[in-house]
Amino acid sequence: MCVSHKSALLKVLYDEEKTPTDDLTFSEVLEQMRTVLDEEYEQIPQLSSSHALDVSTPFTVVGGEGTKRALLIGINYIGQNGELSGCHNDALRIKKYLMDVYGYEEENFTYLMDNGVYDDPTYDNILAAFDDIVAKSEAGDSVFVHYSGHGGFLADDSCDEEDGKDETLIPVNYTEAGQIRDDTVFNRLVLPMADDVTLTCLMDCCHSGTILDLPYKFKAGMGESVMSLQPGFRFDNFFRKIGLSDEE
C-alpha cells in the first residue's frame, strides 16, 4: 500500500500530536488530506495498493501481530540545486507518530538522512536498506517505509508504462549514481517481501502516486467510493514482474 503526502496525513491523523477521537476510514483520511492540501497546494492525495483494499475500513498501518519495522528516509540535498529544508524533520515526526500511535520500538527503526548523523541516503544505501528490511521481515510483521525528498521521472526503459515514463526517487548522490526507478523499487522492496507482511509506504515527493507500480488506486476528491484499476495498467507486465504467466 502506498500513500502520498506526509504533512497532510499527519495534520489529519496526528495534529498537535493528538489522534482523532473517532476512527477514520482510509477514504475519510484521504478526503480530509485533500481539504488540508487545498489550502496551499494542487496535489491530490492518492492511495495505491496491490489489491482492491476496502477504503471504508478504519485506517491503519499495522496488519498483524508480528514485529513492526520502519525505514525513514529524509533528503534535504544540502548544498545542491533544489535544496530542501524540512525532510529530516518530516522523518522524525513520522517516527513519533508510529511510536505513539502504533507502538513501534526504537530498535526497529532504520534511518537514512543527509544530516551527518545517520547514513547518507545514497542510491546504494537506499537499495541496501530495502534489501535489509525485506530480509528481516516475515509473515505477520508490519513494515512502514517513509520517503521525503525529491521525486522525478525518466523515459520508460522497460516498456511497461502506459505514459512512457518511469517514476523515480532521487537519492542524495543522484548526479553521480542516477535516479531510482519505480521498477527498481518494486523489484527490491515490494516483490521480495514475504507473504502476509503488511507493507505501507508513505512517499512525500513529486510523481509519487504510482512509484510502487501497484494496480489499484483511490484518489481523494474524485467522487470515488472504492479503489479502481489504474488506467492503462498492464497486468501482463505485472504478472511478468512477479514471475507468473497471463494464464496463472
Question: Which phi and psi angles does 114 have, rounded to 5°?
Answer: -90, 60
CA angle 204, 82, 8 (to 5 degrees): 25
Q: What is the four-CA torsion angle of 231, 41, 73, 21, rounded to 10 degrees?
A: -90
Residue of 150, 201, 205, 207 with catalytic role: 150
- Grid coordinates given for 54: 476496502
How far apart are alpha carbons 58 and 106 in whole angstroms? 25
Told to judge if 146 belongs to the known catalytic residues of this protein, a careful annotator would answer: no
Question: Which phi and psi angles does 5 have, rounded to 5°?
Answer: 80, 90
Told to judge if 206 belongs to the known catalytic residues of this protein, a careful annotator would answer: yes
Task: Collect all residues with Cβ–Cβ distance below 8 Å to 244 and sequence separation of at least 6.
Answer: none
How far apart are alpha carbons 83 and 174 in whole angstroms? 13
- Grid coordinates given for 8: 497532510
Active site residues: 150, 206
